[in-house]
Amino acid sequence: MPASDLALLEQAAHEAGEIALRYWRREPRLWDKDGGAGPVTEADLAVNEHLERLLRSARPDYGWLSEESTDDPARLEAEYCFIIDPIDGTRAFIDGQTGFSNALALARGDQVVAGVVHLPAMGITYTALAEGPALRNGQPIAPSAHSFEGAHVLTGKPSLDPVHWRGITPPLKRGFRPSLAWRLCLVAEGQFDAALSTRPAWEWDVAAGSLVAARAGCTVSELSGTPMHFNAARPLTDGLVVAAPALHDQLLAAMTPRKGRSGSQLDAPPHGS
């Protein structure tokens, strides 16, 4: 995997951020997608159009998977595939919050080999290569070594429903951030101890952040404990557990056992976030 691809993703992410900020807090046009798939704004589409033009012209033989593009099955035949969320945290973007990101990943086969998560309103950029360190604004990051009890976990309220746990819900502290990609990066840099989702997640929400977390030293898996695979025909992961190895194992041990499921069996979450 040439480092030049990561440089291309980082350039694209910063350009995407500049476009997003032109619309941010300026009441962009917005509407709901069909089928209850969540909100989208003119900013999402403008960013997506720019990224597709830039990245596909630079790498015309790479596949393309984006939240805001019609899926082309030809991506499944390509050696490399871009996996893109133009604006992750669209609801936060609409509300004028700072916690939205541009999440850009590159997969080779079913594994992510380069990832960038850029938060333009905060001036923060996370990057990672499959064979390199995870960085925040160019500086190496690492997860916390917090133990299970009292761990600070980024997750939605449904994840703490007792149905997901053996016995009662464990004594975890819950936090939340609007961008799923950002949540994985916050765990990667030790600001939170774990990220957890008991709902399926779209690949574009987690591809870039999953590599940042893994290269920082986290274990990244689906709820079954199996490693994540990307560029699937139906691009969904069966939930996620992200934490330093010891805490990751403790979380899985405390949860109701879950068998791995194929993407075709998953109930799709809303696209908008």
| Rounded distance between C-alpha atoms, residue 29 and residue 8, angstroms | 29
42 is in an annotated binding site: no
Helices (H) and strands (E) in the chain, counts: 6, 16
Strand partners, 139: 136
83 is in an annotated binding site: no
| Rounded distance between C-alpha atoms, residue 187 and residue 180, angstroms | 11
267 is in an annotated binding site: no
61 is in an annotated binding site: no
88 is in an annotated binding site: yes
From the number of C-beta atoms within 10 Å of its C-beta (0-12, 13-18, 19+), residue 150 rates as exposed
- Scan for tokens 């950002």, then name that residue: 182
What sign has the CA pseudo-torsion 181, 182, 184, 185? positive
φ, ψ dihedrals at 4, nearest 5°: -60, -30
- The dihedral formed by the CA atoms of 54, 60, 63 and 64, expressed in degrees to the nearest 10: 20
Tell me if 177 sits within 8 A of 93, measured CB to CB: no
Q: Which of 140, 150, 48 is nearest to 103 (CA)?
A: 48
| Rounded distance between C-alpha atoms, residue 86 and residue 65, angstroms | 11
- Scan for tokens 């499944």, then name that residue: 76
Binding-site positions: 67, 85, 87-88, 205
Binding-site positions for Mg(2+): 67, 85, 87-88, 205
